[in-house]
Amino acid sequence: MDPGLQQALNGMAPPGDTAMHVPAGSVASDLGTTSRSYFYFTTATLALCLVFTVATIMVLVVQRTDSIPNPPDNIPLKGGNCSEDLLCILKRAPFKKSWAYLQVAKHLNQTKLSWNKDGVVHGVRYQDGNLVVQIPGWYVIICQMQFIVQCPNNSVDLKVELLINKQIKKQALMTVCESGIQTKNVYQNLSQFLLDYLLVNTTISVNVDTFQYIDTSTFPLENVLSIFLYSSSD
């Protein structure tokens, strides 16, 4: 290559030391400053989130405590397991305008169930096995029946019917003892849940196929009918 051209090219190229030289201490210092800033920002953000979360939980706890009154102690009924939980829920619920909790009457061998007169009835009327609505609105209806069957040589059908104004609104059906083998006892629970808008004087009742299978001995307190007013126009 021509010596003059080589010298010209060498003059155009930037010096290696000037183009690539960056003090190592400067880079480390910049990175350290950026890392510390990010750490401080993250810590502050997490601390604010924690304070906000704790404050929210405290507000919710206070609201829940204020909205649930202390349950009255003058209710005579005492449930077993599931029915006791249901009764406790009703006693603690903020809606007390219209509700009822009844346990099935024993030794009444009939299709239409009757209920103990010492049940809890508030804002609802009880008459001849029927709950009669006094305040219109949306009602939650819960019916739970416990059966016990000593299996014969044939299958047995267990049925619970929830009636509104003597019309079947919901029903539960279970067949037990299908194997045809005689066994000592078969326990079966049937439950019905209904949310419906009911007018004044609407009747609520429960039917079963065979009363003799209702367990009034082992789990006498697990056979319950309960309703409560969920929402009204008032």
H or E element in which residue 104 lies: none
Number of structural domains (the chain) is: 1
CATH number for the domain harbouring residue 138: 2.60.120.40
CA dihedral 130, 171, 169, 209 (to 10 degrees): -50
If pLDDT is split at 50, 70 and 90, which confidence band does 179 have?
Answer: confident
Residue 193 lies in a domain: yes
Residue 197 lies in a domain: yes
Q: What share of the chain is helix, strand, coil (3-state, %, to 5)?
A: 30, 35, 35
Residue 40 lies in a domain: no
Report yes or no: 43 and 37 within 8 Å, Cβ to Cβ: no
Residue 163 lies in a domain: yes
Distance of alpha carbon 215 from alpha carbon 211, whole angstroms? 9
**Phi and psi torsions of 106, nearest 5°:** -85, 160
pTM, full prediction? 0.60
Residue 11 lies in a domain: no
pLDDT at 61: 45
If pLDDT is split at 50, 70 and 90, which confidence band does 96 have?
Answer: low
8-state DSSP, 135 = S
Residue 30 lies in a domain: no
Report yes or no: 162 and 196 within 8 Å, Cβ to Cβ: no
Which residue has better confidence, 98 or 92?
98
Domain containing 181: what range? Answer: 87-231
Residue 190 lies in a domain: yes
pLDDT at 109: 73
If pLDDT is split at 50, 70 and 90, which confidence band does 197 have?
Answer: very high
* Sign, Cα dihedral of 72, 75, 78, 84: negative
Q: What percentage of the chain reaches a pLDDT higher than 70?
A: 57
Distance of alpha carbon 82 from alpha carbon 146, whole angstroms? 11
Contacts of 197 (CB under 8 A, 6+ apart): 136, 137, 138, 139
Q: What is the average pLDDT score of the chain?
A: 73
Q: What is the pLDDT of residues 125-148, one digit of tens each?
A: 999 999 999 999 999 999 999 999
DSSP lists the bridge partners of residue 144 as 191, 224
Angle at 60 between CA 54 and CA 61, to 5 degrees: 90
